[in-house]
Structure 1
């Protein structure tokens, strides 16, 4: 599709994309915007002028009201936006509501209701198992039977650009007789994909694999910051806690599942076959062909591929609700670290440096086992769109600040 805006045909934010975010300017309070090229469309103002009553949800300071409308409204809203941006007759009414991207401030795009982080990458799980359990099996016996996850802290999900303060906690190296307390010295990143959920459900009503995509509004890039030394000491027997809960960064733009239609690919294969509640056809169980770059201080250190992930997002959501747990508008769940079979496709420093024993070399001549204060970490990604186009997933960035002493 082409737009009346003067955009290159290969622009990653053309009408095939149209991601949603929340923006503000000097004279506009936070509200929903839609990115087109290097502009942000004030969607609510445009809809109000165009007589689209349902567009009132776009005048809100988060996407939650729109998420509550459900799949039919999401599809209709996207169709309306495409019509406005491709029909020359709409230009005069839409153009006044376009704001240059460099003149807006981006905010957290939705109020996070609940946050769950999964562990859906087989290569990552295998590497972590080898590092943390060198004398045992790399994968736990349950790993290929269910999407493993943990319930995170929604209040510490932050938008890209938010500084990350180095966490403190208990640490204990295997050679030490007792734990000590202090700033993490093994601060890490995890390149993940976040899934934004809408269409709330009632307590006690599971969502099946076949219906799960109807609740998947879109995706964000997600960095699950991890304090590996704190994590290693605390995670037995209940799993991640303080080593994860201090911060999770997401990109400001939510790319809709509809915009990723051309990026759907089969899963790499599941063996053994999962239990019936996790099974589906090619339409309901799928992977996504999303290409990542992990950048530290300007150096690309890894290029993970999301298509390597073992579990489908629909299986993750079905498992999340199979016990009757309800969905809320603004729920967020993450994929777990995206890693592939080659070293250069590993999505965490834990794997890239093999727990710090094989430091990375950066372009400035320094090396890293784990993150240092002042380091700037950026994740960026894109997916194939229709007709050979590219769908940009923006980026998520954070700068490490020193621990705060009390």
Structure 2
């Protein structure tokens, strides 16, 4: 229980706040809130473990409120069969829709002015949603908000009986730090999240490898903590002795504006795109495939990493500052970014992880001795999943160590990426 209290106090004391709220009174409010929260926990009250990281306190076969709901809010409600029921109070609205993973569904208005909708069964794991009221995109005020699709979203979680690896447990916990550094390349201050392992503050003579972990399109540096549960995944792996402790740095790859992705009308649920998507999925079974291939250039971000970010991290944290102890990975657009940066800078990175974002061919690697391990993964419902094993085998045949992974029964969403991180982390820094 002490570990949970310490973890919560650290998280809320260092919680992210917008720049316009960073003043003395708000700082005092944060500290007061953190102390009150600790007192409540000591009194035996049940609280959410972290903002965006609710514990899995319900069984998959029991209807319950979404774990991301605000205190006292019953909806969204996760039904026993993994359907989700939404309610939204808008008595004066003419039309209300709920957009689930960027697909809009019409809600039904009751005589009390409350709109309701119950979805089809949803896949296990985290899913984004938001409301559309008379054409305006709004968040559900009864639920926590997260970043996705280039704007703030709400979220719900379908329990996974095999999801213990990302749940909050009574094990030693690392810290999630929020830091600012100035980038000469961007010409601005940058906002990053840094995970340090549980022993970091006690074992002050130790130095650690670093993983640079990238988000997807329309997201930012916070998502790998809030939806990905990176810190909990690594805490649990370290406690089980499955990985060596390492630092994780999460930075936004955007060196410029990002644009929101507008919701589409309802189609087959299994065919919907997801946050971080670099291209659209099939619209429906048998329908023509519509593919959007934006032209991404990661040269500016690569320059920012090499000139500003990595030197700053190596100066301010106890890292092992060489390529053998440095890795980079990302999801979707972040995987594309990872591929671009790591292949252009083999002197800087030796481990590469691509989650739902393409593959690497042997002839793209200039010197096979530059790379210690390439990891490539997809959800089984994603295009690309059918070829990832062959891509890994081609690298292995060329003398480049590679591993492929396909997440069962998931698409281009967070459950695929949580599982991918879990698998990738166990391959890192073993040599």
Under TM normalisation by the shorter chain, which class is it? Answer: under 0.3
TM-score (normalizing by structure 1): 0.25
TM-score (normalizing by structure 2): 0.24
Q: Which has the higher contact order (CA 8 A, sep 6+)?
A: 1
